[in-house]
Chains A and B, each alone.
Chain A
Amino acid sequence: MNVSVEERLEIEEFLALEARFADESRYSDWEALVDDDMVYWVPTAEGAILPPGDKISIIFDNRQRVATRIRQLNTGKRHSQVPASPMVRTQTNFLIEATSADTYTVFCTQILYEYRIQSTRELATWPARVEYRLRRHGDGLKMCFKGVYLVSASDALPGLPFII
């Protein structure tokens, strides 16, 4: 189903906020955008063409594991993000579809630049296609699925302890 211009604006604004919280390592603010049945998935190239979980993934978090991930980052003792990587990402090419009266699927492309300040001090680039499933609640939208399909998913990857 097509979406209205108003819905499109609302969704793009929601995703811009999500990107901002992730870029700025505002872990709890980011988690507040997550629904109770969240799945956060970064598959390998081999696993991306199969149902999530068939092969091991780089990240395959259910809601509970998202909470653990955020708790760990919030300790301030996760060496791989102390200090947190300065990051900036752009998302574009939004394809938005309404999948029911209160749910949406979004496909977009994402380019993330991450400066590995805590270790090698190299600039890492993380191009990816991203898939979201969003659900409308009384107080706004929430994410129930985020899949990040890395262009380099078949390769050996450097650390990915931040929110991608």
Chain B
Amino acid sequence: MSFQEMNTSSSEAHADYSALIQEDRIHGSLYTSEAVFKDEMQRIFREGWVYVAHESEIPNRGDFVRRRIAGDPVVVIRAADERINVFVNRCAHRGNLLCAEDRGSTRAIVCKYHGWAYDLQGDLVDVPYPAGLTADRKGLGLTKLARIDQYRGFYFASFNENVMPLMEHLGKSAALIDRACEMSPTGKLKLNGGWVQHRFKSNWKMLPENDVDGYHVSFVHPSFAEAIRTRYDEAALLQSEEDLVSEARYWGMGHTEIDFSKAYKSVLGWFGCDEKRYPEYVANMVKSYGDEGARKRMTMGPPHACIFPNLFLAEGNIGMFEPISPTECIHWHTPMQLENVEQGVNDRFKRQSEGAMGPAAFLLADDAVIAERAQEAFGQSGGWLDLSRGMEREHEEDGVMVGHLTDELTNRGFWHHYRTVMAPAPKPARIVKAA
């Protein structure tokens, strides 16, 4: 970037989001424009809450995982039993990458370049040849994300110290996280089954859109439906419009769901088996939630929902969406693993995960190509995309908007929230821009 470009960038025109996002249609340039992408990274991924990691990924003091937020590398590290910090993965001295490994455990964070050492709170605690450094070390700590909070072990972070409380951002959708956690008899998940990352040459928003689009299933996945009988036959595939009982739901704040649970009639039916298969799991669930509560949870199964902007509660998986550029993103997933259940249950989650998710899977491989073809079709001009399906038949239940499985209720919800975030009412904001 030239000096002149730097000077003009602060005053450059932003897209007119109110015009590009209408009640029943959106403009394709939202998937292709560099300026839009830049705004998204600032307004959604820096100023809002983003999901960064689950507590079980870093169970012990000093455990860390690397992630990226809005293109910046961060380290999510456990500093104490009940404290997790998120730092920009960059030395305060000469900007070198501090943690080069994807995950690990450490007692201190030491830069490989000049040996500056930070403790797990991000404070500078040691420099080689200390006599030469007369500056105040307090000002030379790591850049910590301004806000970190968690809900049931799901950690979120924001660069914006004035971001709304996490529970306000999650709103009613906290019930979806509850539903995921309460598949476990202890209410706790253990995300230790490993991650697979799937690269899409498409805009990142196609992930939260398509992942809760109940309309495409019969058309993108007919090869899956023909090759194997699964729980999705009843819930999403081999039914006429009138017979599909699964629902699309909009939970507010950009959080969306397709709910298959009305199609599931028996305990563990969603898991492709019955309750006799895992008697210990069923018994422990009954012990924790009572007979009725356990049967309800084990019949409904885990949620299929996107928590705005980047967390995917993907039935037996937990997923993340990582934007790379306007035309590239990464779909991450790890299998849901439950605390205190027989190994067979967790192994089954892993094998189902491999079947459904990732570059070679029976489902996601085809979704990715469809997304890449959409990106190709947008070209440079984009054109308008219709989002009107089902506007006439959506209705409210307990503050949640509900529609037919095949309706675009979820995508309308996503986009209308996106418009609110991207074109906010003008107000002074103090944003940490140090990163």
- Measured CB to CB, the residues of A under 8 A from B are 42, 44, 46-47, 53-60, 65, 68-69, 71-73, 75-80, 118-120, 122, 154-161
Contact = CB atoms under 8 A, between A and B. Distances in A.
A59 B223 contact: no
Among A42, A44, A77, A155, max chain B CB count under 10 A is at A77
Given A47-B194, A157-B197, A56 B334 contact: yes
Contacts of B196: 44, 56-58
Give the dominant DSSP class at B's interface: helix
Nearest to A61: B354
Contacts of A157: 197-199, 359
Interface in B216-243: 220, 222-224, 226-228
B223 A78 contact: yes
B202 to A, nearest CB: 9
Interface string B172-202: 0000000000000000000001111111010
Contacts of A73: 223
B370 interface: yes
Interface string B389-409: 000000000000000000000
Contacts of B421: none
B369 interface: yes
B369 A118 contact: yes
B360 interface: yes
Contact of B353 (A56, A65, A78, A119): A56
Main secondary structure of the interface of A (DSSP, over half): loop
Given A56-B353, A119-B201, A159 B365 contact: yes
Contacts of A56: 193-196, 334-335, 350, 353-354, 358
B360 A161 contact: yes
Given A46-B195, A158-B368, 14 more contacts: A44-B196, A47-B194, A58-B196, A58-B358, A58-B360, A59-B354, A65-B355, A72-B362, A75-B222, A80-B369, A155-B197, A157-B359, A159-B359, A161-B365
B102 A80 contact: no
B373 interface: yes
B324 to A, nearest CB: 9
Nearest to A158: B199
Nearest to A122: B201
Interface in B353-381: 353-355, 358-360, 362, 365-366, 368-370, 372-373, 376
15 contacts: A42-B360, A44-B195, A55-B193, A56-B196, A56-B354, A60-B351, A72-B226, A75-B226, A78-B366, A80-B366, A119-B369, A157-B197, A157-B198, A157-B359, A158-B368
Given A79-B366, A79-B369, A119-B373, A44 B194 contact: yes
B330 interface: yes
A160 B197 CA distance: 12
B359 A154 contact: no
A59 B196 CA distance: 10
Contacts of A75: 222-223, 226-227
B347 interface: yes
Nearest to A161: B365
